[in-house]
Amino acid sequence: MRFSVYKIIITERALKDIEKLDIKTKKRIGTKLKHYSKDPLRYATKLINNAIGTYRFRIGSYRVVFDIDEDKIVVLRVGHRKDIYK
């Protein structure tokens, strides 16, 4: 059985979100995304209101909102849990 690793695509909007974070948080999110890219749906939660995206990863107090397009994880937004859904 061969695992395919999903390719991570970060949108312009998500890149702006990431740039605002501190170094430690950026590293943590990057490490977790690499880990989750092996089996994203195992770690993801489907969003009820998919206006901002279809799925999310929970990484501490931060949320990574994304869609899956074939073999790609398209990161749409990254933010603190209190702000991300506004």
Structure confidence by residue, pLDDT tens digits, 4-33: 799 999 999 999 999 999 999 999 999 999
What is the C-alpha R_g of the chain? 12
What pTM was computed for the model?
A: 0.92
Tokens in use for 4?
């395919």
Q: What's the mean pLDDT in 38-62?
A: 95
For tokens 């939660």, what's the residue?
Answer: 45
Is 3 a residue whose pLDDT tops 90? no
What mean pLDDT is predicted for residues 57-84? 96
The whole-number average pLDDT for the span 48-64 is 95
Report the distance separating Cα 39 and Cα 6, nearest Å.
8
What residue has token string 């933010």? 79
